[in-house]
Amino acid sequence: MIHARGLTKRFGEFTAVDGIDVDVLRGEAFGFLGPNGAGKSSTMRMIGCVSPPSAGTLRILGMDPAADGPAIRARLGVVPQQDTLDLELTVRENLLIYGRYFGLSRALVRERADELLDFVQLTDRAKDKVEPLSGGMKRRLTIARSLINDPEILLLDEPTTGLDPQARHTLWDRLFRLKQRGVTLVLTTHYMDEAEQLCDRLVVMDKGRFVAEGSPRELIARYSTREVLELRFRADEDISVYGEKLAGLVERIEVLPDRLLLYTDNGDRTTEEVHARGVRPAGTLVRRSTLEDVFLRLTGRTLVD
């Protein structure tokens, strides 16, 4: 579906995407993870055929964006990072006219618009102007809009940023159903739980390059341990002192502003060893490793800063 080799995007001197290779297969859910400025959106825009690559090859649905942009875009659904809704139109009109841009008949567009409004639970706002909608509602409308042409590939740039937890879960459920219907999903996210829930495969991006690639499970196995012991301390304590005290206890220790993360295969045993070294944290928590830990390891940063 998507095939890229050495894909590069430069803005003047600055290289935002630095020669990445990707293949996304039909029906797959593929995720781009990375800190701010990693080049996720730049990559998505190139895939969406609204930003010409500076170098490398890119094939989408077997076609070249430079030559067949309109034909490719006809089969894509796009949720940009920032909503680009038509503020001069009502909620329903936004869907109607967007469908028309794809050359769909008025009757078909009307039918789909009503279905999609229902799908994102905005039916009762159909006649309202877009401007006064809440951020989450606008996001949902953008998502509905991206589906108006029944796309084969759906590009979602941080789809659930700004949604409340309930809306996020509903959206995940909808996306999961789309995937079951065979729609290929490509998404970027800052939420690890989102990536673990939705993605079959993902890449971690940093400074325009891929730093890791695989399924969520593989990445955790490769870059983290089975369990993580979190030690919390009081705010007035100097955490790095404890970090030094515990050095060598486990394979890797991560020092965060408010806590220590100890990567271990047996959290309970490590807890005992911590106590044995005379360290008395205010709280301890043993949890399973998540993608968040992978991310921290690979980029040295937490995701949401």
Partner 1 sequence: MTAATREPSRPTRDGSAGLLARVIALPPISPRRAGYLVERTWLITRHTWLIIVSGFFEPLFYLLSIGIGIGALVGTVTVDGQLLDYTVFVAPGLLASSAMNGAVYDSTFNIFFKLKYAKTYDAILSTPMSAADTAAGEITWALLRGMFYSAAFLLVMLALGLVASPWALLALPACLLIGFAFAAVGMAATTYMRGWQDFSFVNLAVMPMFLFATTFYPLSTYPEPLQWVVACTPLYHAVELVRGLTIGLVDASLVVHVAYLAVMGLLGLRVAAGRLEKLLLR
Ligand X SMILES: Nc1ncnc2c1ncn2[C@@H]1O[C@H](COP(=O)(O)OP(=O)(O)OP(=O)(O)O)[C@@H](O)[C@H]1O
d(CA 141, CA 143): 5
CA angle 222, 23, 68 (to 5 degrees): 160
Residue 300's binding partner among Mg ion, partner 1, ligand X, none (Cβ under 5 to 8 angstroms by kind) is: none
In terms of Cα–Cα distance, which of 124, 77, 82, 127 is closest to 98? 77
99: tokens are 């469908």
Of the candidate spans 39-47, 119-127, 165-173, 266-274, the one that interacts with ligand X by CB under 6 A turns out to be 39-47
At 262, which amino acid appears? Answer: L
Q: Can you tell me which of 97, 126, 249, 286 binds partner 1, judged by CB under 8 A?
A: 97
Residue 51's binding partner among partner 1, Mg ion, ligand X, none (Cβ under 5 to 8 angstroms by kind) is: partner 1
Strand partners, 259: 232
Q: How many CB atoms lie within 10 A of CB 200?
A: 15
Q: Are strands 153-157 and 252-255 parallel, antiparallel or unpaired?
A: unpaired
Q: Are strands 76-79 and 55-60 parallel, antiparallel or unpaired?
A: unpaired
Which residues, numbered 148-207, are part of the site for partner 1 (CB under 8 A)? Answer: 149
Q: Is 176 in the site for ligand X (CB under 6 A)?
A: no
Q: Can you tell me which of 20, 60, 76, 204 binds partner 1, judged by CB under 8 A?
A: 76
Q: Is 11 in the site for ligand X (CB under 6 A)?
A: yes
Binding-site residue total for ligand X (CB under 6 A)? Answer: 12
249: tokens are 């206890």
Q: Do the beta carbons of residue 144 and residue 123 sit within 8 Å?
A: no
CA angle 117, 157, 214 (to 5 degrees): 120
Residue 122's binding partner among ligand X, Mg ion, partner 1, none (Cβ under 5 to 8 angstroms by kind) is: none
> At 201, is the secondary structure helix, strand, or coil?
strand
CB-nearer residue toward partner 1: 141 or 202 = 141
Q: Is 81 in the site for Mg ion (CB under 5 A)?
A: yes
Q: Is 161 in the site for ligand X (CB under 6 A)?
A: no
291: tokens are 């993608």
Q: Between 44 and 63, how does the x/- string for binding to partner 1 read (CB under 8 A)? A: ----xxxxx-----------
Q: Between 41 and 60, how does the x/- string for binding to ligand X read (CB under 6 A)? A: xx------------------
d(CA 284, CA 290): 17
Chain center to CA of 88: 30
Q: Is 89 in the site for partner 1 (CB under 8 A)?
A: yes
Which residues, numbered 178-207, are part of the site for ligand X (CB under 6 A)? Answer: none
CB-nearer residue toward ligand X: 38 or 178 = 38
Shortest approach of ligand X to residue 48 CB, angstroms?
Answer: 12
Which residues, numbered 4-63, are part of the site for Mg ion (CB under 5 A)? Answer: 40-41
Q: Is 108 in the site for partner 1 (CB under 8 A)?
A: no
20: tokens are 């990445």
Which residues form the interface with ligand X (CB under 6 A)?
Answer: 11, 14, 16, 34, 36-42, 81
